[in-house]
Structure 1
Amino acid sequence: MDQAPTDLADLRIALFSGNYNYVRDGANQALNRLTGYLMRQGAQVRIYSPKVANPAFPSTGKLVGVPSFRLPGRAEYRFPMALTPRVRRDLKEFAPHIVHVSSPDLVGHRAVSWAGARRLPVLASVHTRFETYPRYYNMAFMEPVLLAMLRRFYRRCDALVAPSESFAQVLREQRMNYDIGLWTRGVDHARFNPGRRDLAWRRSLGIADETPVIGFLGRLVMEKGLDVFSDTIDELQRRGVAHRVMVVGEGPAREWFEARLPDAVFTGFQGGDDLARAVAGMDVFFNPSVTEAFGNVTLEAMACGVPVVAAAATGSQSLVDDRVSGRLVTPGAVHGFAEALRRYLEDPELRERHGGAGARRALDYDWDQINKVVADTYLRLVRRRAKQA
């Protein structure tokens, strides 16, 4: 390999992703933004990920397809299978200075081994609480096994970056690695801001101006806490608290969610300015999920001046100031969630005050400053490896 670079403009990064653009989610949106930032600074980035004929959005940077198969029961997702000779030839030709892995799948493992054989540093970005997923599919007994597998993977990497301090602390307590930094998330303030609120659009959905709206935003999958969300709405209805529910997003659990919330408004997928309008049209954002490592949707709601009721879990704990910009409630505590929501639904002044505090807090999250942290970590690891050579 040529001499280790000392400047970002000279750096070549091989990025491995289990889902770079074929299904839209917060993690791959962050990865695409990171690639765009790196390329604007002059760095070269090559992405290795499954490819499909009709991806959810165009990829940023050159995307090299890796073999994959559809996941049983979750056919919208694909499982990367191997570093084929074709992919290995491409890697050799690209000659990266560092490898970035963003998913602990089979290809991620192979990428770490490939880098190790060439004495290249590896940075892993951790995007979700993978070990919590089995509990939503009646397989909680698998969590200790999955934790051990994740620990083996992440300890083979030179460093990790996590999207929130609360999640980084969890990773430290789980002994995943001893070099864990922060790569938080940003928000486009030109798009997500209180000025996007449009009462005429809400009326077109059959929502009266005076009716407070509880919003949900995200992929409609069970691990987002759809069961807790639904049970909480049932509790509000039993208490006779006036409200409407607006659900923004698509996913395989939509039919189940619609059956559980027959009076809710389902907008389907919203993107760009339409998404910002939908978020700003909420009066309180409810996020009961415990799987997020950061919570992009929570930050977008805050930027739009919407108070947040969230589970006191990784991600939300680093974003929401309890009793200042929202409420943090014990995960799964349906009565606690219902009480927090009731306060906002019945007190417009409280909504306005806490929503304003959240909008001010969201101004701290600028994408370029955030992505520079990852770029600086690349250079630190490359320089450290060069000294060890």
Structure 2
Amino acid sequence: MRWICGSLVLILVTSFCCADEPAASDTPTSIEGKYLSGVRQVTSGMVKAGEGYFSPDGETIVYQAVPLQYPFYQIYTQPLSGGEPTLISTGRGRTTCAYFTPDGKQILFASSHLDPNMTETEQAEIAQQEADRKSGKRRRYSWDFDPFTDIFVKDLKSGELTQLTTEKGYDAEGAYNKEGAKIAFCSDRDGDPDLYIMDADGSNLKQLTDAKGYDGGPFISPNGKWVVFRSDRDKEGYLQIYVIGVDGKHETALTANDGVNWAPYWHPTKPYIIWAGADHSQPGRPNYDLWLMKYEETDDAIKPGKIWRITDSPAADVLPVFSPDGKKLMWTSTRTDDHSSQLYIADFQFPEDE
């Protein structure tokens, strides 16, 4: 099974079981207070929500959420100061991986709304969900590499929607570089999910990876030289964090453990990468937490350094992103009362160097 974009949240939500809480005197002190303060929930009213990203001014977020009356994720924006979500996607199809342009005037996202059999696709999912409810069974979630998924950009002022990819196959998981001139994304147009980079208008396409297995979730480094991503090339479904140059050279694995490491994201000003991960070396379903790595950059390498665990909640914590000024952290968590996935935000404090 491939685990990509916001989709891992779903398998966590549908499979997560809360153990009996120990007595207060037996409860160990959480580590989160060292790094996170002012933790608050920022989305609600959706079946589930997650994979949020900040606007360039840090005042608005864009995210994907499943609304009450539709079976697939749609894309929404929402001011952090409060207010109702605004629908950005078309309202139909599978959508994922939204990202602001650096000027804040447009939003990039992936959508399958051009599926010529959209009505049948929707009806099939609705019927399956209804059957699941009646049977009481929970399907093991797997992400659909929908072959009708393409990358679009929407102008927030005019509402114009521009299609950037047209190849047959799954094109998604896109993000801009700091200047907004390049987009890194995942595509299975050659039969296997690999990383690509293109100009912001969809031209000058370049393939970055070609290893067997899933390569996805790319983000371009703040200095524009590197792409961090996740890959299950060593063991299907068991993701590790990698970096590669924007020229397709100097690929390096940053993690190599018996677990799942995914959703890596660069800090905008300091040499740190944050991601979600869990140890799968023991039987049973492990919990997902956030992890922070300090790295060293040279001319031809990103060298992994010390790692800190940032969260230790019994809930699943995934898909972390830093605010543009690097002072806040936003992530997706099931620490809600009903254990649905929603977005949380907190002030972030770096660990002291040791």
Instruction: Pick the TM interval, shorter chain.
Output: under 0.3
More strand by share: 2
The structure carrying a bigger helix percent of its residues is: 1
Normalising by the residue count of structure 2, what TM-score does the alignment of the two structures yield? Answer: 0.28
Rg bigger for which structure?
Answer: 1
